[in-house]
Amino acid sequence: MPAANPARLAAAAGLVAALRSIEDRGSNLVAELLAGAPFMAFEHHPPGDVHDPVSGAQYYFHAHAPGEARALGPSWAEIGHIHTFIRPAGRAEDAPIHHLIAIALDRCGRPTALFTTNRWVTDDDFIPASQAIGYARAYQVSDGAPASRCINALFALFATEIADLLTARDAAIAAWQSDHPGIDPFEDRDLEITSAHPIDLLAVLTALQDTLA
């Protein structure tokens, strides 16, 4: 059996602790992000997003209208998803913003998949995987909120998978461009989800625990 990876073990412990701090109050990650607001399709929760003024990390939760979620492609069960971004130059209106990954959540508020999207989906400033991976590895929201702690832990726990997703995203866009000459692949509404990785969180945590046995 392979030796335990200290960084992944720490991330797993952080994720479990953050989820437990939410669920012990009879809540879940989705309810935490809604903070009592009505669950409205396409609305950003929380309003105005969460921003880290030091790292430039940013995220929000939203959901698609009923019946639209399955148009996202991969067959995971989700109630909505968290979009994560980095703003390396700060929060000015004209500052570049780069989408990293989205985190799909199930009805219990547990992560069920990670995925990437085409540029038009979030209207961000596209950067290649080589650059995005560096930002993903350093992603950190330091407000201490349980939701932020969950997201930080997911970036650390699935760092390898996220790097693979971003690489696959670029490959999918390049392949789409090759197959659709004369069309800007970043604006083509027929290309929405560019890579995806379903998550079995219990299996991942169990496997990590086994490495300690």
The whole domain housing 134 covers 6-210
Structural domain contains residue 192: yes
Q: What is the pLDDT of residue 68?
A: 59
Residue 67 pLDDT class (50, 70, 90 cuts): low
Q: What is the pLDDT of residue 39?
A: 79
Which stretches within the chain are classed as H helix? 6-23, 29-34, 119-122, 129-137, 146-157, 159-179, 201-210
Q: What is the pLDDT of residue 74?
A: 47
Structural domain contains residue 1: no
What percentage of the chain has pLDDT greater than the value 70?
A: 92
CB proximity list for 183: less than 8 A, separation 6 or greater: 177
Q: How many C-beta neighbours within 10 Å does residue 35 have?
A: 10
- pLDDT digits over 167-190, tens only? 999 999 999 999 999 999 999 999
Higher pLDDT, residue 36 or 98: 98
In this prediction, residues 128-145 reach a mean pLDDT of 97
Task: Provide the residue count of the chain.
Answer: 213
Number of domains the chain contains: 1
DSSP string for 34-53? HTT----TT--EEEEEEE-T
